Amino acid sequence: MLVPLPVREVMQTPARTISPESPVVEAATRLRDEGIGSLVVERDGDCVGIITESDVVAVAAEEGDTRALTVEDVMSTALVTVEADADVETAVERLRTHGIKKLPVVEDGELVGIVTTTDISSYVPHIAHPSPSKEPPMERRRFTRPDTLYENDDWEFESYGTADGIDVGDHVRFSKTLSAEDVEHFAEISGDTNRLHLDDGFAEGTRFGRRIAHGTLVAGLISAALARLPGLTIYLSQELSYRGPVDIGERVTAHCEVVEQLKEDRFRLATAVDDSEGECVVEGDAVVISDPIPETG
């Protein structure tokens, strides 16, 4: 995200509600017929709990006359909510901390919607996967002569892994300064001549108040880092979340960590880019093929 994304922009509204005195079978029927995963329980306008598909399934597995149960008998009363104006990262943290998948959204004490992990995952893909470690495992070999055509005095990198290709646990980081010249060249090459990146006077009137680097240019450092893993790394996919702007002239660092082997030559990596203060500005998930380096004459 280039600016904090408020929960209100990703939540479902209105939130579906039910009274605590309602029979559980009514809740089950509504969950099925309305194609939803939860109902917020309200009494006299106050949120007092939540009942989910999992709660209903647990009731169905019980012995005895469960049809006599009410929503109040089975609902969760440890209700965790989030403010509509809170940023999505706050919602992610609450979902993780409490081990839940649904958050009622409130505004001035009133229920205005509900947000789920599914809603958020479209905007913040890193909730599904861990972030790359910024400290590579020291027991792995450090590579300083990668199979790249050339290097630049401004670039810095460290690659830790095995000698014969990549493996789970391998880590690479790559740093460079994103200069005004870089931004101008990227605009020309890509065709993205948005004045936010090129025109100081125009950029002053935007929400950022100054020119910033293209988000795709910043994310491109991930590709640069992957090129410095042992072997020939080929992209299959890259999922990204933009979490903050990068100033022109700022030094940024990409981190990539191999977190899963999918097939013999295919791997999933946690990827991120940090700004000069160490704050994450881009985060996501990549899938790559790792081929051997071809022999050249």
- Please write the tens of the pLDDT for every residue from 263-293: 888 999 999 999 999 999 999 999 999 888 8
Query: Which parts of the chain are beta strand (E)?
Result: 17-18, 38-43, 46-52, 82-83, 102-107, 110-116, 141-143, 156-161, 171-177, 232-242, 251-263, 266-274, 280-291
- Please write the tens of the pLDDT for every residue from 164-173: 678 888 889 9
Distances 174 to 111, 223, 226, 264 between C-alpha atoms, Å:
45, 9, 9, 26
Longest dimension (CA), the chain: 80
What pLDDT, on a 0 to 100 scale, did the predictor assign at position 162?
A: 61
Which residues are CB-contacts of 183 (< 8 A; sequence separation ≥ 6)?
197, 198, 211, 213, 214, 217, 248
Give me the amino acid identity at 180: A
Beta strand pairing call for 82-83 and 46-52: unpaired
Instruction: Report the percentage of the chain scoring pLDDT > 70.
Output: 88
Q: What is the pLDDT along the chain (297 residues), one digit of tens a residue?
A: 345 678 998 899 999 999 999 999 999 999 999 999 999 999 988 899 999 998 888 887 776 677 789 999 999 988 899 999 998 888 988 988 888 889 999 998 899 999 998 888 766 655 555 566 666 555 555 555 556 778 888 999 888 776 567 888 888 999 999 999 999 999 999 999 999 999 999 999 999 999 999 999 999 999 999 988 888 889 999 989 888 999 999 999 999 999 999 988 899 999 999 999 999 999 999 999 988 888 775
- Please write the tens of the pLDDT for every residue from 55-102: 888 887 776 677 789 999 999 988 899 999 998 888 988 988 888 889
Kindly report the CA angle at 102 between 96 and 103, in degrees rounded to 5?
A: 85
Whats the size of the chain, residue-wise?
297
pTM over 0.85? The answer is: no
What pLDDT, on a 0 to 100 scale, did the predictor assign at position 129?
A: 55
CB 176 within 8 A of CB 152: yes
What pLDDT, on a 0 to 100 scale, did the predictor assign at position 224?
A: 94
Domains detected in the chain:
7-123 (3.10.580.10), 141-291 (3.10.129.10)
Averaged pLDDT of the chain: 87
